[in-house]
Amino acid sequence: MSFWGAVIKPGQRVTVSDSQGDLLHLSQACLSNPKGEGKTYLRVEHDKKELTLACLVKDTQEHCHLDLFFSVADVTVFHVEGKNDVHLTGYFEPTVREDSEDEAEPRAAQASKKQAEVQDTPAKAVKGGGDNPQRSASDAPPAKKAKVAAAVEEGPQRPADEAAYVAVLKKLLATKKKLTLHVKH
């Protein structure tokens, strides 16, 4: 994500460029040292439409939280009508590349191979005896630690077999490392 901000003076037009990203998330608009009385309108021209995003008033409504996304592939122009400057802030979302079906199959095969390697490795008892066949990630040999770290870093890849996927998740959870799951919509 990269920060984006603009100061728009009355009558001025600000065009958003795609040099920083493809998707602009507009977060807030506020009056900056309002001098004039009356209403100040923040407007946008996007996708051949003009819309009012906010109406700001000195001493009454000087700030407006926004949660709007603009694709900068279309021309996006902000402008202000009124007597006051408006500050806009937001950020550019990073471009997300969808995996194609050609790439998804090798990943599933690679994940199944990793799962087979993990399942074929015999478990050893934890130091101190006992009947617990599980061992912690810190007791693993360096090569095994590297595989587990790589799997945790890469995140679980969904193999074709649902049971294998669940087993991979259980193994990763057994490492007691914090996992971040990213869900694609």
How confident is the prediction along the chain (185 residues), in pLDDT tens digits per residue? 788 899 999 999 999 877 667 788 999 999 988 888 899 999 999 878 899 999 999 999 999 999 999 887 778 899 999 999 999 999 988 766 555 455 555 655 565 555 555 455 554 444 444 444 444 545 556 666 666 666 655 555 555 566 676 676 667 666 655 555 555 54
Q: What is the structure's pLDDT at 65?
A: 96
Q: What is the structure's pLDDT at 177?
A: 57
Exposed e or buried b per residue across 34-67, where buried means at least 16 C-beta atoms within 10 angstroms of its C-beta: beeeeebebbbbbeeeeeebbebebeeebeeeee
Q: What is the structure's pLDDT at 67?
A: 94
Pairing mode, strands 49-57 and 13-16: unpaired
CA pair distance 54, 39, nearest whole angstrom? 10
Q: What is the structure's pLDDT at 105?
A: 57
Beta bridge partners of 93: 23
Q: What is the structure's pLDDT at 72?
A: 78
Q: What is the structure's pLDDT at 133?
A: 47
Q: What is the structure's pLDDT at 115?
A: 53
